[in-house]
Amino acid sequence: MTILDRIVADKKIEVAQRKQLFTTNYWEASPLFGRAANSLAEKLKASSSGIIAEHKRRSPSKQNINSSLSVSEVAQGYEEAGVCGMSVLTDGKYFGGSLDDLTLARAVTNFPLLRKEFIVDEYQLIEAKAHGADVILLIASVLTRKEIKQLSEVAKGLGLDVLLEVHNLEELEKSIMPSLDMLGVNNRNLKTFEVSLNTSRTLAEKIPNEFVKVSESGISKVSAIHDLKTYGYQGFLVGENFMKTDGPGQAAGDFIKQLEA
C-alpha cells in the first residue's frame, strides 16, 4: 500500500466519522455558507504572476516544514504580497492542517482560498463552502471519471471553482469535462514523492485551452515559471519554497518582484 493509498483509506474513515458528528444541515447554517465565492480561475487569467501560495506545516515526505507560524499571519502576508490565492492544507493526520485553518485565513483575507484536501465525498464540498473556501481540489488518481463528474458538478452548484489535479496522460484523458475550471499538473509523483517539471511540460499540449493550466509542486525558481509560461501555464502553486522561511509573505513578495522585473 502506497502513502497515497493509506491517506485515502484514512480519509474515508475520517469523513464517515465527521458525518456522524455534523450533518450537512449544520454546515449549511454556517455564516460563510452563503458567501459569494471569489474565482481563482479568473484571478489567474488576469494576473501577470499567477502565483498560488500555500500554507503547509508538514507532509509525509517532510515531517516539519514550518509549524511555528500562525495561519492568519501567513494568509495576510500572502495577500499583501499580491499572490492570486492561497492553498490551505486541511488534512490533519498527514499534513498537520485543519478546517479551522481555512476559517482563520478567511477571517483576515479576501483573496481566493483553495481547500487542499483528499476529496472523496460530497460532504467535504459542503464543509469547504461552510469554512470559507472558494476553490476545491479533486485528485484524479484517487477518483473515477464518474466521481470526478459528480463531485465537480456539485462543487459548481455550490459556486466553487474546481481545480482537477493529474499526474500523467491517462489521468488527464479520463478527467476532461466541462465542470472543471482549472487543470493542474502535479510535478510530484504521489507514490514516490519524486519531483520533475518535465511532467508539466509533457502534458501541457494535451490540456484544452478552455481550461486554466496550473503547474503544481517543485517550483522554487523564477526561471522555472518563465519556462512553464511558454507552455501555456497561467497558475503556479508554490508551497514549501515560501513556507520553509520565517516570513512566507515576504518571501512570496520578493519572488513576485523578481518574476515581474
Q: Hey, which residues are catalytic here?
A: 54, 56, 116, 165, 186, 216-217
Q: Is 237 helix (H, G, I), strand (E, B) or coil?
A: strand
Burial 67-76, CB ≥16 within 10 A → b, else e:
eebebeebbe
CA 7 to chain centre: 16
Beta-sheet strands, E only, within 128-186: 135-139, 161-166, 182-186
Among 133, 122, 181, 180, smallest CA distance to 33 is for 133
User: What is the widest separation between alpha-carbon atoms in the chain?
Assistant: 52
CA distances from 118 to 36, 86, 95, 100, 198 (A): 23, 17, 11, 16, 24
Q: Contact at 8 Å (CB) between 184 and 234?
A: no
What type of residue is 1?
M
Residue 230 region by backbone torsions, left for phi larger than 0, else alpha for psi between -120 and 50, else beta: alpha
